[in-house]
Amino acid sequence: MAGSLKTEALVLRSIRYGEADRILHLYTPHHGRLGAIAKGVRRARSRFGARLEPFFHVRMVLYEGRGDLHTVTSVDTVDPHAALREHAQTLDAAARACDAVARLFESAEPHPEVFTLLRNELALLTADPAHARAATGLAFRMKLLLAAGLLPQLASCAACGEPEGLTGFSPAAGGVVCSSCEGAAFPLDEEGYRFLVSAVGRPLAHAPEASERALRQAERAIAETAAHHAHVRLPPLLRPTAPTATV
């Protein structure tokens, strides 16, 4: 099916290829994740300029050839998200957000809400480096799980349905579990539980605050859910804790 495709896109990755070309990983509202090649982009007089760097929000025309890669024929910038490149922590948070989208949404299946969510995350990181905190990154991942149909059960025990006394999280059971069903679970404190619930319910810009302990529990719940149900590894956002010396 050769032809041209007009689409908005967020640039997830931009990889040097050959003398002057770039391979792009793009996320689009209606065509999911796409791969494209931009030819001659690294020549000084390229008509594409710097518009194909990671985190750019662009409007582009792609030529759909027979292979896996589309060919970029024109590009306009919607938003370069320039300010997020000024700080190491916002660059890192943006790269991790793009990486999580690429890992969880690999196909051309459309998920317009994922496009919107990633655009919002990049806009927040551009507007204020304070959004580079782990809580916002974890709230972003919870919303990705929701979009992927992988949101853990949070309202009642995922094993027996009990609404009270939820004390653990079991990736295998698919969510929070009560004290009688704790078998394969790890502990989830009240605060970690509240973080997961409000991370889904609140806009990304108002991602809840939580203690490091609660964020670590939330991170484990999110990572193990993605690993167990989608076989996707989401690298940690929080630094590993220093090993405790044994006496």
Q: Provide the minimum distance between the beta carbon of 155 and Zn ion in the complex, in angstroms, as a whole number.
A: 12
DSSP assignment letter at 68:
S
50 to each of 21, 54, 75, 90, 216, how far by Cα in Å?
A: 13, 10, 10, 19, 38
Q: Which is nearer to Zn ion, 185 or 223 (CB)?
A: 185
Find the binding residues for Zn ion in span 205-244 (CB under 5 A).
none
Q: Provide the minimum distance between the beta carbon of 230 and Zn ion in the complex, in angstroms, as a whole number.
A: 24
Q: Which is nearer to Zn ion, 7 or 156 (CB)?
A: 156
Residue 188 within binding range of Zn ion, rule CB under 5 A: no
132 touches 125 (CB < 8 A): yes
Find the binding residues for Zn ion in span 127-186 (CB under 5 A).
157, 159-160, 162, 178, 181
Q: Which is nearer to Zn ion, 10 or 181 (CB)?
A: 181
Tokens at 148, concatenated: 């992927």
Angle in degrees, 0-180, between the axes of helices 134-147 and 212-230, rounded to the nearest 10? 30
- DSSP-derived secondary structure for 101-144: HHHH--SS---HHHHHHHHHHHHHHHH-GGGGSHHHHHHHHHHH
Q: Provide the minimum distance between the beta carbon of 232 and Zn ion in the complex, in angstroms, as a whole number.
A: 27
Q: Provide the minimum distance between the beta carbon of 180 and Zn ion in the complex, in angstroms, as a whole number.
A: 5
Q: Which residues bind Zn ion (CB under 5 A)?
A: 157, 159-160, 162, 178, 181
